[in-house]
Structure 1
Amino acid sequence: MFSRAEFDRRIALARDAMASADVDLLLVDSGELLAWLTGYTVSETMYRAAFLPREGDAWFTLRALDEAPCREKSWIADVVGFADTEEAQAAVADSVRGHGFGKAQIGLDTNSYSMSAQTFMRLQELLPEATFVPMPGISDSLRWVKSEEEIAVLKQASAIADRAMLEVANQSRPGMTTRDAAAIASGVFLREGADTGEVGPVVKASGGHEFLHGVFKTEAIGEGDILHVELIPRVGNYGARLMRPIMVGEPSPALRAAAGKLITLQDSQIATMEPGVSAREVDAIMRQGALEAGLRPTYENVTAYTLGLYTRTPRTSDFSRVFLPTSDWVLEEGMVFHLYATAQGLGFSETVVVGKAGGVRLTESPRCILTTSFYKKKHGARCCA
């Protein structure tokens, strides 16, 4: 999916971080960093890791059963496989010694979900002459700024989200269930080239914003109900995200007004997303604006979080960079975020990349309450209420 020049760029970034931390060897074990740096990722059924020396060739140590796909997907030629009868951590440690790094300064991400306390203590026991240097968060921070090649893949995923959202809106009707809607989106995902048919929360909206993480269940949608649809297609493990409210019937003037306020605030956020701007400044536009407009009594959740690689990971969203009042870091060109806003049963979100002169939406669905009746009248035209 990516050129060798792209991987060389990533290797150079990783080695720059290694130089700053004064380490000889980088241990890579989080699923996302494995995919980003090597081109191959695999579940942690048994512990596995890739290693990047500050000088010299990288290698990958993993189950022998995974050797063939690793060789096929990765630029790494040195793939060390171990039998299922071996202890995974011991095999990894053996490969470190075998490559001449038994006494090295080894950098590792102490925030990696694969680096459990047990694995860390076992590696220390197996490599007593090595020095382990904490590099917390390196698995995320190396990937914050996306390249042109990465953004191109995110555009593909965003286009799939747009097509699926419009298809759900086109087919929405009284009596349809949330399961029916999810099946429509899932079918579009698979037909259009997404990695899987997994969709996000597809629920009947209720209350103010509590529906956002609603539990998926089979609910019938009736006249006047709002179907909340969040879509999370991935292409090559790169995930775009998109949220829209779909109404069976015509929205009331009050609901249209609330949607207009949310969208206006979000548009202002997007316009402000320039390099060098503080994340909390962008966050305040939505958070304070929604409160001042009376759209919500409180606003305690983040207004955006990082998008990019989503592999076999225990976390469904990447909160290594989020928009909050306490977010003192600044935006950089090429960062990509899921920007979202919810209030009064409505949810709008976009996949947005930080551009030179402001944010650029990668998702392009109409920014309004989608309605079934209007789409039918216009024969599927890309319009809404």
Structure 2
Amino acid sequence: MSMSPGEGASARGLWWWEQRRSALLDGFLAALAALECALGGYSFFGDRLHLGAAAVVPATVIGALGGASLLVRRRWPAVPVLVSMVLVPGLFGIILLVVSLYTLAATWTWPSRRGRVLVLSSVVFVETLGMVLFSLLTIEPKPGEPLPATWVFVLIAVLVSVGLTVPPVVTGLYIGARRRLVESLKDRAHGLEAELDLLAEQARERARRARLEERTRIAREMHDVVAHRVSLMVVHAGALERIVAKDPEKAAQSAKLMADTGRQALNELREILGVLRMNEGPAVEAPSVLAELPRLVDQSKAAGMTVTLTVSGSRRPYNGEAEQTAYRVVQEGLTNAHKHAGGARVSVLLAYLPNGVRVAVLNDCPGGGEQVKLPSGGNGLVGMRERVLALGGSFLAGPEQDGGYRVEALLPSRLAVSTDRLV
């Protein structure tokens, strides 16, 4: 926080100069003013008043001390002005007067303290005017030489008083205002720099979060693809191992299904990786992902699962992200059924409702109600929940009362694609 030279210096104790050259300048001005005031005091009390050494010596010392008061002009700007007002009646201390008025106007905050500046400057002006005019009017004329008119003396006194007081005050006000403007611009520049740093930090944080969210999204997609396809391949591999010697034809069919499943997994992985390499371009309407649910169910049937698909309601197209999420929910439910509920009957439901689209995967408890290990609801279900909630939908995954398990999601109707866009 910036401050004027005459303020806040008390925090630094006796030595209030911010720079060494400022101290040297004040010392030079104080020495010069002290010399002038000492000579002026000696001349006034000795030559004009014709007093003895007992009065001249103290007057000279006091004059020197008064001129030296310029040393404190940056700390207490009013002190040299008050001292100069004491010396004005003697018509000496011009350097002290000019420098102190300049300092007073330059260092005191304007306009909050303009009253003090105006009052002290006005008093000095009036005092100087009165003393100069008094000095001119009391001049003893030489014999035979007439004195000028009184208005001439008044004009001279006014000009001298204005010359001694107005220029220092005006110059001080200008320099002080310029100094405060520069300090204000510096403060503003520092503030803008801090704000830019904050904005840059926020941008970096947003970029970091965006990268994290994108990595999380890609990881979920990879999990959805790999977990489901690999689960099917493991099921087929287990069946192939059991029947390869007994039923070569069925074993060949299982091997073909494994190959098809592997190719589908590779294709989906290539699509995901292709999105990472794709340049941003105009949006293209993607085909319906929910239309692929029958094929997904058929793959589970081919792996030996007893699964049925039920579709109800008037079909409505939804945006690509919504349909992809619904598809992944069904895929995750079937994957969990493959891993944790082998042999159980599974039902897949797809319902187009007035308030949205609902998908659900329900599996019975295998073994006639015996206690079995149910789907654990691991990272896959956690990821599904986050994706559904991010779209404003609702998600449910948990055991049923009969020992089965349900995975269900409802996506809101606002995600549906307007029919106008399909024309």
TM over 0.5: no
Instruction: Give the structure with the larger helix fraction.
Output: 2
TM-score between the two structures when normalised by the length of structure 1: 0.20
Higher normalized strand content (fraction of residues) = 1
